[in-house]
């Protein structure tokens, strides 16, 4: 029985070693795929962030800080690519996901900034529009109530100054 136990033990060790040996390339292949996908996603997000930043007209202090953070994320992506090229897939994946997280936070901040600026613009435009409308209405009201009656009055005054002389001999009007 003891002889069989030894044989079974050797078989188990051999089996586990074989499984481990076959599993390592699978795990490595998965890590490579994950790292590659993460790098691609990070690259796409970086392009999107740049698109958002290009649309901004006023680069205030907050936006300039976000640009610095974007450059940090770019550096992380570069390191992820370098590690990928050196077959350090786990580190590459970590760097790429770090960049993705950073870029996601930047996208959130830019979106909220753009949204608040759009709201401010709408308020200002509405105010300008309302004021312009009010100005136009007031001018029309002034014209109808003051200027036009004054003009009519003046016209009548002017007409009243006119004299109509009849020339009996010719029957003509002067």
Candidate list 13, 19, 24, 50; residue touching another protein; CB under 8 A:
50
DSSP label at residue 147: I
Candidate list 7, 12, 14, 78; residue touching another protein; CB under 8 A:
78
Sign of the alpha-carbon dihedral angle for 86, 39, 51, 125: negative
Smaller CB distance to another protein: residue 9 or 155?
155
Which residues, including other chains, have CB under 8 Å from residue 59's CB and lie 6 or more apart?
67
Candidate list 132, 145, 153, 166; residue touching another protein; CB under 8 A:
132
Quote the least distance from Cβ 31 to another protein, whole Å: 23
Sign of the alpha-carbon dihedral angle for 46, 56, 69, 116: negative
Write each residue from 134 to 163 as x if it is in contact with another protein (CB under 8 A), else as -, in one continuous string: -xx--xx--x---xx--x---x--xx--x-
The answer to whether the beta carbons of residues 77 and 46 sit under 8 Å apart is: yes
Long-range contacts of 75-79 (CB under 8 A, 24+ apart): 76/42, 76/102, 77/39, 77/42, 77/43, 77/46
Site of interaction with another protein (CB under 8 A): 47, 50-51, 53-54, 56-57, 59, 63-64, 67-68, 70-71, 74, 78, 121, 124-125, 128, 131-132, 135-136, 139-140, 143, 147-148, 151, 155, 158-159, 162, 170, 172-174
């Amino acid at each position: 029985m003891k002889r069989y136990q030894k044989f079974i033990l050797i078989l188990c060790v051999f089996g586990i070693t074989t499984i481990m040996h076959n599993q390592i390339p699978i795990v490595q292949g998965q890590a490579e795929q994950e790292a590659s996908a993460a790098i691609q996603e990070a690259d796409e997000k970086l392009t999107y962030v740049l698109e958002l930043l290009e649309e901004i007209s006023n680069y205030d202090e907050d936006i300039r800080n976000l640009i610095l953070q974007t450059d940090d994320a770019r550096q992380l992506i570069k390191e992820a690519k370098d590690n990928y090229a050196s077959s350090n897939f786990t580190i590459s994946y970590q760097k790429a996901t770090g960049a993705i997280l950073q870029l996601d936070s930047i996208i959130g901040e830019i979106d909220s900034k753009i949204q608040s600026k759009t709201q401010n613009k709408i308020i200002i435009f509405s105010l300008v529009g309302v004021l312009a409308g009010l100005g136009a209405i007031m001018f029309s009201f002034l014209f109808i109530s003051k200027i036009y009656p004054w003009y009519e009055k003046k016209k009548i005054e002017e007409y009243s100054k006119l004299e109509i002389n009849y020339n009996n001999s010719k029957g003509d009007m002067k």
